[in-house]
Amino acid sequence: MDHRKKNIIELTRCSEESYRGLAKRPLRVLADNVRSMHNIGAIFRTSDAFLVEEVILGGISGCPPHPEIEKTALGAERTVAWRHVDDSFAEASRLQREGWKVCVLEQAFGSVDLSLLRPDEGERWLLVVGNEVKGVDQRIVDLADVVAEIAQYGTKHSLNVSVSAGIALWQLTRERCGWPGSSR
């Protein structure tokens, strides 16, 4: 079996222009007051990988163009649709009224293990991730259709927000889109 690492030419998937024309998943990410520009960049990069429809940058979340976002996004800030909103709660409420299922990634009473989520085809999901210290605004947690938590077993009580977003995006797209490894 050939396990030779791929070079940059072998890794090239499509141009930025071609990517923008691809059909996206009915999945959006709302970054609620995420302070770190590096985290925002990493969320863009992961969103590009999983064909996320849009990244919504709420409150104090940084916006492109910014050198620290560009450093971790590696161009994904140019391929993934994005916009800024002043009020994350108002935006989550609006999208929920439009039929989006609001999924908050947070450690909370009554949360469900992320690995148990099984989104149905045709559903539109908004994944909300929060501030590195305070988490997701409690008002958004209260309105959520589902609060999901990533099971952890070590001594630390949380993961980096961009790491958590990556795990959640992988789980949601894996379960919903019939990608390799899907249980459907």
What is the per-residue pLDDT across 134-155, written as a single tens digit (0 to 9) for each? 999 999 999 999 999 999 999 9
- Cβ atoms 69, 40 nearer than 8 A: yes
Please check the confidence at residue 183 and state whether its pLDDT lies above 60.
Answer: no
Is residue 86 situated within a structural domain? yes
Please check the confidence at residue 119 and state whether its pLDDT lies above 70.
Answer: yes
Is residue 158 situated within a structural domain? yes
Range of the domain at 66: 18-177
14 strand-pairing partners: none
Q: Cα torsion for 39, 42, 47, 49, to the nearest 10°?
A: -160
pLDDT-derived band at 122, boundaries 50, 70, 90: confident
pLDDT at res. 180 = 34
pTM score, whole prediction: 0.93
Beta sheet of 82-85, edge-to-edge order:
82-85, 52-58, 25-32, 125-130, 101-105, 146-149, 112-113
Is residue 5 situated within a structural domain? no
Token pair belonging to 154: 């070590």
Is residue 122 situated within a structural domain? yes
What CATH number does the domain containing 32 carry?
Answer: 3.40.1280.10
d(CA 63, CA 40): 8
Please check the confidence at residue 166 and state whether its pLDDT lies above 70.
Answer: yes
User: Rounded to whole angstroms, what are the CA distances from 146 to 85, 86, 112, 129?
Assistant: 22, 23, 8, 13
d(CA 44, CA 146): 23
Residues 73-113: tens digit of each pLDDT:
999 999 999 999 999 999 999 999 999 999 999 999 999 99
Is residue 6 situated within a structural domain? no
User: Rounded to whole angstroms, what are the CA distances from 88 to 37, 54, 67?
Assistant: 17, 14, 24
| Residue written as token pair 């009554």 | 110
d(CA 172, CA 127): 9
d(CA 108, CA 170): 21
pLDDT at res. 175 = 66
* Summary mean pLDDT of the chain: 93
Is residue 182 situated within a structural domain? no
Say how many domains are in the chain: 1
- Cβ atoms 16, 78 nearer than 8 A: yes
For residue 151, how far is the Cα from the chain centroid?
Answer: 18
pLDDT at res. 94 = 98
d(CA 161, CA 158): 9
Residues 3-48: tens digit of each pLDDT:
999 998 888 778 999 999 999 999 999 999 999 999 999 999 999 9
The percentage of the chain sitting over the pLDDT mark of 70, rounded to a whole number, equals: 95
Arithmetic mean of pLDDT, 43-71: 98
